């Protein structure tokens, strides 16, 4: 092959690779990105049943119930406007408590949320990103109450 | 005093970097030889940053609470090693470390680079100084690590307990050496584009730097993966977290660069492509730093609320990447074409390697930045995780692993021998693995199964370059390549085994209860309270057996008081064929404790593979340096002849 043609082929191959990468990424993202919802979004019917998603809110006080097997819990996440029941089997994170924020990763099935993972505040300073706003609103609410 | 001395050293270093930039422009315009001055200044600049970094270590070691950074990130009751390591466990300190390595790399380039032409070296040192200058400005204007606190605090706020781990002392510095080591490749590429001296000599000078940076990245990623595995207590070894991707992206680009630089060094081909990869590799390092350091990951809003640092880093990123690409656009097209090659040749193999790595890099890049993009545009929040990355990048990585077995068998320029014959044994091994996997485990997923098949094939195919010749007389660099490629097979085996055969048991246990997980029978012997220097803990005792012998594991739940945090300390026991991973959770209030047990067959192969890959890189580096040295010791004329006829 002549050097000139060779360069053309190489440039073509590089362009093709970029195109493939972008198309693959778009296809993957359409199917597999998981959106973040609040209980109000779910009440409004925005979330698709059975698709992987994240649900964020405050753990409602007095809503945590442990099942007889000791490792499955049920609780309710709320954003002040609506409530969604959540089922989770596993060890909850360190700072998962009633009245504080949590994000559940999982699927919505028949109005209840089955979580694969629970994210909560990791320590005093770190928060799951999605909860940043919610907790700011929450704090603002508290200040008003006082 | 110490803090002020550090700050002064930083200012001086910044001044010297500016001077280097002026010198470079003068030299490029007027052909004045400033090589000697340039080198000396680069060395002094590197030394000054080392002094500044030493001062930071000193204020942390002494817990000087009149320094704001120490107050925010340290505590007098912390073990000494974490006081020191805490110096880079925060934003300002880690940026100082970044700039220190950047300037030190410039100094090393000035000292050790004998093969680069004088003009290109001056231009490269100027480019390196330009990089450093931007980051000095960032430190001095937006992230001063030596800012004083007036009045001094009585006690510090402490360091995140997750960071109080030997991993912190090792992991970030290694990764930073890798990130910033790529800056030398960037500067050499920019220098050579400026002076129009992109040739195989440049590639040979660049290669050791790329190798060294790549080895560090490989080690850093491997160590980081193991750290997350045992420290988080979630049992996973890779989470596709943006912070992890931030280190994976430079690694992918550096891996591609590492392979294409060989084509340029050996055959003088792929000039423009290799220069572009050198620019992209360090750009990915800067993208990673931007992602981790700007706060953009926590939330696009956090970035908008405290925009100074993020905007500053973004502007630096845009400036450097933009300038490099503009230069590339002007000079890239004027580069002479390299030596031609046929369709079936080592060159083609390496081009395909590069294309696949670039596609994977693109997929990771888009997946990592897409959530930020969507949130910035529409305010909608979403996350992209394992389902996307595994399904989209996984198959491509497997295809790449198949080709890894073939590429090294091909000859440069044109291959006429029937190489596929040599692959019959590896292919047979792959088919055997496929059959066995269907018999032993018919139910596993397609990705893990393909992983096992490809790994079996690659384990054999990777050593083929040593077959049919006297292995002891093969070049050290060839051994390095074989070892690294074999390491891929090892790591792939670990990943596939872990995905296919991990067994998990989650239960509440009372003292005396027995649980089974995989081949193990685990008896819960109760919990005892215990304490360390700055934490208290509940420690569970587990007695595990599989027929014979008894192993005792003691997982803990720790409570730190500064800042108040709980962490799970998993207890992990390693065997030749896997790891038993145990975590103790919360009490159920009725005398029972939550236990989480995993049996993970051959999971250690993941990190062993990573270590082998890095070791292979180290061998290749040693081989290249030995060869350079041997060449240098020959007479000039002989060297000229060799290059002419090689």
The SS3 of residue A89 is strand
CB contact under 8 A, B382 and A34: yes
pLDDT at B300 over 70: no
> Which string of DSSP letters, residue by residue, matches B477-543?
HHHHHHHHHHHHHHHHHHHHHHHHH-EEEEEEE-TT-EEEETTEEEEEEEEEEEE-SSEEEEEEEEE
Prior bond of B151 cis (ω within 30°): yes
Ranges A111-125, B284-298, B544-558: which has the least confidence? A111-125
Q: For residue A126, which residues of chain B lie inside 8 Å, CB to CB?
A: 160
- Which has the higher per-residue pLDDT, A23 or B380? A23
Among B47-61, B103-117, B299-313, the range with the most confident prediction by mean pLDDT is B47-61
CB contact under 8 A, B367 and A125: no
Q: For residue B383, which residues of chain A lie inside 8 Å, CB to CB?
A: 33-34, 36, 54
Q: Examine the fold and report which residue of B109, B141, B164 is the final residue of a domain before the chain moves on.
A: B164
**φ, ψ at B385 (rounded to 5°):** -135, -155
Rounded percentage of chain A residues whose pLDDT exceeds 70: 79
Of A13, A18, A29, the CB nearest to B367: A29
- Give me A13's structure tokens: 């191959």
Q: For residue A90, which residues of chain B lie inside 8 Å, CB to CB?
A: 506, 596
pLDDT at B334: 79
pLDDT at B537 over 70: yes
Ranges B14-28, B437-451, B543-557, B580-594: which has the least confidence? B580-594
Strands A34-37 and A53-59: parallel
Quick one: angle between helices B91-112 and B166-195, nearest 10?
Answer: 50
Strands A112-120 and A101-109: antiparallel
pLDDT at B168 over 90: no
B627 located within any domain: no
Query: Smallest Cα–Cα separation from A32: which of B297, B449, B394, B378?
Result: B394
Rounded percentage of chain B residues whose pLDDT exceeds 70: 96
pLDDT at B416 over 90: no
Query: Smallest Cα–Cα separation from B139: which of B235, B45, B303, B9?
Result: B9
pLDDT at A126: 45
State the best of A12, A25, A37 to mutate against chain B, taking most chain B CBs within 10 Å: A25
pLDDT at B306: 63
Residue in chain B lying closest to A18 (CA): B359
pLDDT at B145 over 80: yes
Q: How confident is the model at residue A102 (pLDDT cuts 50, 70, 90)?
A: confident
- Which has the higher per-residue pLDDT, A137 or B384? B384
Q: How confident is the model at residue B297 (pLDDT cuts 50, 70, 90)?
A: confident
CB contact under 8 A, A1 and B342: yes
pLDDT at B32 over 60: yes
DSSP state of B153: P
Distance CA B320, CA B313 (A): 11
Q: Examine the fold and report which residue of B148, B164, B180 is the final residue of a domain before the chain moves on.
A: B164
pLDDT at B489: 97
CATH architecture for residues A36-145: Beta Barrel (2.40)
Whole-model pTM: value is 0.91
Helix, strand, coil fractions of chain A, as percent rounded to 5 = 35, 30, 35
Angle at B623 between CA B621 and CA B629, to 5 degrees: 100
pLDDT at B341: 83
Instruction: Average the pLDDT over B125-142 and give the result.
Output: 94
State the best of B274, B362, B372 to mutate against chain A, taking most chain A CBs within 10 Å: B362
- Which has the higher per-residue pLDDT, B334 or A78? A78
Would you kindly state where each structural domain of chain A is located, as residue ranges? 1-33, 36-145
B135 located within any domain: yes
Of A1, A89, A133, the CB nearest to B340: A1
Strands A83-89 and A112-120: parallel
pLDDT at B631 over 90: no
Instruction: Average the pLDDT over B206-231 and give the result.
Output: 92
Q: How confident is the model at residue B565 (pLDDT cuts 50, 70, 90)?
A: confident
pLDDT at B301: 53
Helix, strand, coil fractions of chain B, as percent rounded to 5 = 65, 15, 20
Q: Which domain holds residue B62?
A: 1-164
B469 located within any domain: no
Of A17, A32, A123, the CB nearest to B563: A123
Distance from CA of B252 to the nearest CA of A (A): 14
pLDDT at B34: 84
Q: Compute the residue count for chain B.
A: 646
Instruction: Average the pLDDT over A47-67 and give the result.
Output: 85
Q: How confident is the model at residue A130 (pLDDT cuts 50, 70, 90)?
A: low
Q: How confident is the model at residue B372 (pLDDT cuts 50, 70, 90)?
A: confident
* Residue B571: strand pairing partners: B582
Distance from CA of A14 to the nearest CA of B (A): 7
Ranges B192-201, B235-244, B260-269, B411-420: which has the least confidence? B411-420
In this structure, are residues B499 and B520 in contact, taking their beta carbons and an 8 Å threshold?
Answer: no
Give the dihedral of Cα atoms B418, B420, B424, B428; nearest 10 deg.
-170
CB contact under 8 A, B391 and A32: yes
List Cα–Cα distances, B624 to B116, B133, B258, B261, B631, in angstroms: 15, 32, 13, 13, 11
CB contact under 8 A, A27 and B301: no
pLDDT at A14 over 90: no
Distance from CA of B616 to the nearest CA of A (A): 28
What is the residue-averaged pLDDT of chain B? 88
Q: B70: left (phi > 0), else alpha (psi -120 to 50), else beta?
A: alpha
pLDDT at A141: 37
Of A92, A125, A132, the CB nearest to B299: A132
Q: For residue A36, which residues of chain B lie inside 8 Å, CB to CB?
A: 380-383
In this structure, are residues B508 and B595 in contact, taking their beta carbons and an 8 Å threshold?
Answer: yes
Distance from CA of B92 to the nearest CA of A (A): 17
Q: How confident is the model at residue A146 (pLDDT cuts 50, 70, 90)?
A: very low
Q: For residue B351, which residues of chain A lie inside 8 Å, CB to CB?
A: 10, 13
State the best of B388, B394, B595 to mutate against chain A, taking most chain A CBs within 10 Å: B388
- Which has the higher per-residue pLDDT, A71 or B104? B104
CB contact under 8 A, A3 and B337: yes
CB contact under 8 A, A125 and B563: yes
Among B9-23, B102-116, B296-310, the range with the most confident prediction by mean pLDDT is B9-23
A34 C-beta neighbours (distance < 10 Å), count? 20
Q: How many domains does chain B have?
A: 2
B539 located within any domain: yes
Of B270, B388, B568, the CB nearest to A32: B388
Q: Examine the fold and report which residue of B105, B136, B164 is the final residue of a domain before the chain moves on.
A: B164
- pLDDT 10s digits, B339-371: 788 888 888 899 999 999 999 999 999 999 998
Distance CA B374, CA B354 (A): 29
Q: How confident is the model at residue A143 (pLDDT cuts 50, 70, 90)?
A: very low
State the best of A4, A11, A13, A17 to mutate against chain B, taking most chain B CBs within 10 Å: A17
Return the residue matching tokens 């550090």. B6
Instruction: Average the pLDDT over B430-458 and give the result.
Output: 94
B286 located within any domain: no
Q: For residue A10, which residues of chain B lie inside 8 Å, CB to CB?
A: 270, 273, 351
Distance from CA of A102 to the nearest CA of B (A): 15
In this structure, are residues B249 and B281 in contact, taking their beta carbons and an 8 Å threshold?
Answer: no
- pLDDT 10s digits, B101-120: 999 999 999 998 877 888 89
Of B302, B363, B506, the CB nearest to A132: B302
List Cα–Cα distances, A54 to A22, A113, B384, in angstroms: 25, 10, 11
- Which has the higher per-residue pLDDT, B467 or B434? B434
- pLDDT 10s digits, B169-202: 788 889 999 999 999 999 999 999 999 888 888 9
Q: For residue A65, which residues of chain B lie inside 8 Å, CB to CB?
A: none
Ranges A6-20, B12-26, B193-207, B254-268: which has the least confidence? A6-20
């Amino acid at each position: 092959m002549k050097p000139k043609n060779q360069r053309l082929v190489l440039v073509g191959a590089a362009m093709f690779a970029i195109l493939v990468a972008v198309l693959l990424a778009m296809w993957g993202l359409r199917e597999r990105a998981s959106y973040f919802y609040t209980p109000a979004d779910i009440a409004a019917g925005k979330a698709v049943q059975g698709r992987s998603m994240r649900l964020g809110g405050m753990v409602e006080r007095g809503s945590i119930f442990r099942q007889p097997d000791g490792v499955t819990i049920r609780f309710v996440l709320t954003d002040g406007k609506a409530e969604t029941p959540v089922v989770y089997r596993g060890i909850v994170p360190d700072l998962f408590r009633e009245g504080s924020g949590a994000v559940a990763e999982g699927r919505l099935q028949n109005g209840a949320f089955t979580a694969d993972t629970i994210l909560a505040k990791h320590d005093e300073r770190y928060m799951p990103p999605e909860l940043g706003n919610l907790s700011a609103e929450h704090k603002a609410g508290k200040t008003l109450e006082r | 005093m110490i803090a002020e001395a550090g700050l002064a050293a930083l200012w001086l270093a910044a001044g010297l970097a500016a001077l280097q930039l002026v010198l470079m422009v003068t030299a490029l315009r007027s052909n004045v030889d400033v090589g000697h001055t340039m080198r000396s200044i680069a060395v002094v600049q590197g030394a000054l940053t080392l002094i500044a970094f030493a001062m930071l270590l000193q204020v942390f070691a002494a817990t000087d609470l009149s320094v704001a950074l120490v107050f925010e990130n340290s505590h007098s009751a912390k073990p000494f090693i974490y006081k020191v390591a805490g110096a880079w466990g925060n934003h300002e300190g880690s940026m100082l470390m970044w700039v220190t390595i950047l300037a030190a790399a410039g100094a090393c380039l000035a000292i050790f680079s004998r093969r680069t032409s004088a003009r290109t070296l001056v231009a490269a040192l100027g480019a390196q100084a330009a990089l450093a200058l931007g980051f000095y400005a960032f430190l001095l204007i937006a992230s001063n690590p030596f800012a004083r606190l007036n009045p001094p605090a009585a006690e510090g706020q402490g360091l995140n307990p997750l960071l109080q781990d030997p991993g912190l002392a090792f992991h970030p510095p290694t990764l930073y050496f890798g990130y910033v080591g790529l800056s030398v490749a960037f500067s050499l590429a920019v220098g050579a584009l400026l002076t129009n001296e992109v040739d195989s000599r440049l590639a040979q000078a660049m290669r050791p730097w790329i190798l060294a940076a790549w080895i560090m990245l490989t080690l850093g990623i491997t160590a980081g993966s193991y750290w997350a595995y045992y420290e988080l207590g979630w049992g996973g070894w890779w989470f596709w977290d943006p912070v992890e991707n931030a280190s994976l992206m430079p690694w992918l680009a550096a891996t591609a660069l590492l392979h294409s630089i060989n084509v340029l060094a050996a055959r003088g081909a792929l000039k423009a492509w290799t220069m572009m990869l050198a620019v992209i590799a360090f750009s990915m390092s800067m993208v990673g730093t931007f992602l981790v350091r700007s706060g953009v990951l926590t939330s696009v809003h956090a970035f908008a609320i405290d925009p100074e640092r993020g905007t500053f880093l973004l502007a630096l990123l845009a400036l450097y990447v933009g300038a490099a690409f503009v230069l590339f656009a002007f000079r890239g097209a004027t580069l002479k074409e390299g030596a031609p090659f046929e369709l079936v040749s080592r060159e083609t193999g390496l081009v395909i390697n590069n294309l696949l790595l670039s596609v994977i890099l693109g997929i990771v890049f888009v997946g990592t930045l897409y959530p930020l993009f969507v949130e910035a545009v529409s305010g909608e929040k979403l996350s992209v995780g394992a389902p996307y990355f595994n399904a989209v990048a996984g198959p491509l990585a497997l295809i790449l692993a198949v080709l890894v077995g073939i590429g090294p068998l091909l000859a440069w320029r044109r291959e006429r021998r029937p190489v596929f014959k040599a692959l019959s044994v590896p292919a047979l091994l792959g088919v055997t693995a496929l059959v066995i996997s269907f018999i032993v485990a018919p139910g596993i997923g397609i990705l893990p199964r393909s992983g096992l098949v490809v790994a079996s094939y690659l384990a054999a195919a990777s050593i083929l370059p040593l077959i049919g010749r006297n292995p002891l007389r093969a070049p050290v660099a060839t051994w390095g390549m074989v070892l690294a490629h074999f390491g891929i097979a090892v790591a792939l085996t670990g990943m596939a085994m872990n995905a296919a055969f991990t067994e998990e048991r989650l239960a509440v246990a009372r003292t005396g209860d027995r649980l089974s997980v995989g081949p193990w029978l685990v008896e819960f012997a109760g919990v005892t309270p215990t304490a360390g220097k700055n934490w208290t803990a509940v420690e569970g005792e587990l007695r595990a057996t599989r027929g014979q012998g008894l192993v005792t594991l003691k997982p803990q739940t720790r409570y730190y008081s500064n800042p108040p945090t709980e962490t799970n300390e998993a207890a992990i026991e390693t065997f030749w064929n896997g790891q038993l991973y145990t975590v103790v959770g919360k009490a159920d209030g009725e005398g029972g404790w939550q236990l989480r047990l995993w049996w993970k067959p051959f999971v250690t192969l993941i990190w062993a593979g990573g270590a082998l890959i890095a070791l292979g890189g180290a061998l290749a580096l040693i081989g290249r340096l030995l060869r350079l040295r041997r060449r240098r010791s020959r007479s000039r004329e002989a060297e000229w002849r060799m290059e002419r006829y090689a």
